[in-house]
Amino acid sequence: MGSDPIALPLLNWLAGEARAVAQVVAVFTQPDRAAGRGQQVQSGAIKVWALAHGLPVHQPAKLGADDLAALRSHAPEVVLIMAYGHILRDNFIAVPRLGMLNLHTSLLPKYRGASPIQTAIACGEKTTAVTLMRIVAELDAGPVAGQEAVAIDPLDTAVEVEAKLAQACVPLLARTLPELAAGRLAFREQDAAAATFCRRLEKSDGRLDFAASAAELAARINGLFPWPAATTELNGQAVKLGLADTVPPETCHVISDTFGKPGAVLGAEAGGLLVATGQGVLRLRKLQRPGGKMLPAAEFLRGFPVAPGSVLRSLPMAPLVARFPFPRKPA
User: What domains appear along the chain, each with residue ranges and CATH number?
Assistant: 5-198 (3.40.50.170), 208-303 (3.10.25.10)
Task: Assess contact for 263 and 274: CB atoms under 8 A.
Answer: no
**What letter does residue 309 receive in the DSSP assignment?**
T
Residue 305 CA to residue 286 CA, distance in Å, equals 14
Amino acid letter, residue 298: A
Residues facing residue 101 across a β-bridge: 80, 134
Instruction: Indicate the SS3 state at residue 14.
Output: helix
**pLDDT recorded at residue 258:** 52
* pLDDT tens by residue, the chain, 331 residues: 999 999 999 999 999 999 999 999 999 999 999 877 777 888 999 999 999 999 999 999 999 999 999 999 999 999 999 999 898 999 999 999 999 999 999 999 999 999 999 999 999 999 999 999 999 989 999 999 999 999 999 999 999 999 999 999 999 999 999 999 999 999 999 999 999 999 999 999 999 999 999 999 999 999 999 999 999 998 889 999 999 999 976 666 654 545 669 999 999 986 899 999 999 999 999 999 999 999 999 999 999 999 988 999 999 999 999 999 988 765 5
Q: What residues form DSSP beta bridges with 237?
A: 234
For residue 82, count CB atoms less than 10 angstroms from its CB and return exposed for 0-12, middle for 13-18, buried for 19 or more.
buried
Residue 259 near residue 308, CB atoms below 8 Å = no
Check residue 34 and give its pLDDT: 82
User: The whole model's pTM is what?
Assistant: 0.94
For 322, what's the count of Cα atoms within 13 Å in the CB-facing half-sphere?
11
Say if residues 222 and 243 touch (Cβ distance below 8 Å): yes
In the prediction, which pLDDT does 40 show?
84
What pLDDT sits at residue 328? 75
How far is residue 119's CA from residue 124's CA, in Å, rounded to a whole number?
9
pLDDT score recorded for residue 236: 87
